[in-house]
Amino acid sequence: MTTMTRVLTASAVLGLLVLTIAPRYPARASQNPQTAQAPVFSYQVVNRFPHDPNAFTQGLIYRDGHLFESTGLKGQSSLRKVKLETGAAVELRAIDKRYFAEGLTDWGNRLLQLTWETNIGFVYDVTSFTQVGTFTYTGEGWGLTHDASRLIMSDGTSALRFLDPTTQREIGRITVKDGEREIRRLNELEFIKGQVYANVWYTDRIAIIAPDTGHVTAWLDLAGLQPGVRRGDSVLNGIAYDSQGDRLFVTGKLWSTLFEIRVRR
């Protein structure tokens, strides 16, 4: 075996080891903010509220004067009704340890909650938290919101799926793009004033998306909102909107603070 052959063989082995031990996802999404074609908005912090630092936030909505939150991780997943001013859960339903809970939205007097890799969603009565149904879907469950007539779901790709709110069956989908570039890892969702706001996993940015075309109309850059060293996956994730008070709330996984912010265009 020549020296060159030995070098090539060693390189091949090293490459195989890297492929074997590399994580399923990179530590950071490889979507360079500098390549954004849509305008980039900044923010102003209006208020700060306590948030449970042990809550692995996956879904967040504001309704009837309270936050409703879906938290993840197997064995720790939950559905919560949270008092905004204190961050305390006034209702809490633990999710079976088999499931990793994900996105959350409401529809009428129901709450709908996704799970990550188990292809099942749960339907609850919004008042009692009693489970009243389930539904299934293909692929992974990430984020969930709704417009006036459809549920809108993300699955970690660049797609937004539209579901019938009664049957939860898929009735369409779009690909989200900024210019010609697909925006992947769409996560927690919120429908605000006719547009879908989507966390992009492992970034400090929220994509603002036109639901009829999938085009990113703007970016909301929240860099610096939670300074300091992060703990693993304690990244930005969680968007809720108070339509009556015109208040926008954001938080992250394992964050101790929930922020009310104002978008600066």
Count CB-CB contacts under 10 A for residue 37: 12
Whose CA is closest to 63, among 145, 131, 142, 136?
145
Examine residue 2 and state whether it is found in any structural domain, yes or no.
no
* pLDDT tens-digit map of 16-47: 333 333 333 333 344 454 567 999 999 999 99
pLDDT of residue 210: 98
- Rounded to an integer, what distance in angstroms lies between the CA atom of residue 158 and that of residue 42? 23
- Rounded to an integer, what distance in angstroms lies between the CA atom of residue 169 and that of residue 192? 23
pLDDT in tens, the chain (265 residues): 443 334 333 334 334 333 333 333 333 344 454 567 999 999 999 999 999 999 999 999 999 999 999 999 999 999 999 999 999 999 999 999 999 999 999 999 999 999 999 999 999 999 999 999 999 999 999 999 999 999 999 999 999 999 999 999 999 999 999 999 999 999 999 999 999 999 999 999 999 999 999 999 999 999 999 876 566 788 999 999 999 999 999 999 999 999 999 999 9
Examine residue 149 and state whether it is found in any structural domain, yes or no.
yes
Examine residue 11 and state whether it is found in any structural domain, yes or no.
no
Query: What are the Cα distances from residue 15, in Å, to 1, 27, 98, 117?
Result: 20, 19, 35, 29
* pLDDT tens-digit map of 221-235: 999 998 765 667 889
Examine residue 241 and state whether it is found in any structural domain, yes or no.
yes
pLDDT of residue 233: 83
The CATH code of the domain that includes 220 is 2.130.10.10
Query: What are the Cα distances from residue 209, in Å, to 158, 164, 173?
Result: 12, 20, 13
Examine residue 5 and state whether it is found in any structural domain, yes or no.
no
How many independent structural domains does the chain possess? Answer: 1
- Rounded to an integer, what distance in angstroms lies between the CA atom of residue 121 and that of residue 219? 29
Host domain of residue 165:
36-264
Examine residue 17 and state whether it is found in any structural domain, yes or no.
no
Examine residue 7 and state whether it is found in any structural domain, yes or no.
no
> Could you give the dihedral angle defined by the CA atoms of residues 252, 51, 56 and 138, in that order, rounded to the nearest 10 degrees?
-70
Alpha helices in the chain (DSSP H): 3-21
> Could you give the dihedral angle defined by the CA atoms of residues 186, 110, 256 and 71, in that order, rounded to the nearest 10 degrees?
-60
Examine residue 72 and state whether it is found in any structural domain, yes or no.
yes
